Chains A and B, each alone.
Chain A
Amino acid sequence: MMRETSDTVCEVVLPDALLRLYPEAERRLAVAAADVGSLIDELDQRWPGMGACLRDSRPSVRKHISIMIDGERSALETKIAPGATVFVLTAVSGG
């Protein structure tokens, strides 16, 4: 796990649909992670099973999940700048 210091921590915003599955999770939280993959690892450590909701076994960010950093859709290997805000979003889908 990454050392939590002010220069490695980002802010993460989780979507309502995920919070329904994990009602004990926080909507906004601070996470120490250098890239999106390690961010998902950290979320899964805090709330077991959440990682599989966001990342498939390819491994990739799930097809209908968007993880946005600075307005850009990111992949598992996308770096996260210290202090960045990371939005986890459910893409338009369903029927």
Chain B
Amino acid sequence: MSLAVTELRRRPGRFAVATVVLTFLSLLLLLLGGLLDGLFLGSTGAIRAQRADVIVYSDTARDSFLRSRLTTEVRRQVEQVDGVEAVGGLGFSLLGATVPGETDLADVAVAGYELPPSGVPDPPSAGHAWADERLREAGVSIGDTLAVGPAGTPITIDGWVEDTNYLQQGALWVTLDTWREVQNANRPDAFVAPDVVQVFVVRGAGGDGLAAAIDAATGSTSTLTRDDAVFALPGVSEQQSTFNAIIFSTLAVVLAVVALFFSLLTLERTGLYGVLKAIGASTRRLFAGVVIQAVTVAVIAFVIGGVLAFVGDALLPGDIPLQLTPGRYVFTFVALVVAAVLGSAISLRRVTRIDPASAIGSAA
């Protein structure tokens, strides 16, 4: 172990190329992951924040909030299902809003609700809203009255909430009546009758069993668990699978870089390893040295890449949905270390095959 560490310390230049390449790859992994997280969190906050076990859609909506419509009659049926503890209506309208003093429209998701999501207070008074902090970037302040949609429906901001955005639009949490008013004034093509909502959020016991029981009781609904509802949002699954494919492809490149670099290094050290084996070094010890070097290079690359990603995040414009979470850093670190171990493992066969007898009779 000491041999491997000493070589890293005394000959850093030998590992510079691998460190630089892995630094760029770790930066790429963090940026890709940060974008994925930013897109995911920005799209799904309003649903993740729901303190609900299941979400009920109309069965013709194909799990879409915007297509779903549920009546009070369905609500009564849901409330009578065993295990249901609370039912609340929920509806969204995606619109542009004029912010006082700003020339650009702010993208908002007007969310009508009854049961307060996590971090959101009870519904405000009519015509008022709790705004997601993301809207600060659009110039929104507490006390502002936004003119929402083409009809300019006024909504006054009472306070801030966090991580509750919907499909990359800043959420404005309002009463169901205010939501219907906004929807009907600005989207007459998608009129919502009084007492109609898009979905019900349901608190209760049972998860999948509860969902099935609700659908059986109503005969006209499609019920998903909250997590399933998150991934049913438009584009979320596609974003996840696309970004994850790129991230795991990048990890495959990391593995290939480590494998190639340390294979070449091992090839170059064949003579030295032969001598060390001849004087009593075990294959295990020599291979452990290779792994330690690969992991150390990966960790150094991760640290530099992490700092660069952090700085890049601070410098990038706010409209790029990059969000570097501690979990993303941990995932990238673990993935790099695992790739380094697996990549260096390719050298095991080469180290094993080095014959200690090659040290004798060789002038090389």
The yes or no verdict on A and B being binding partners is no
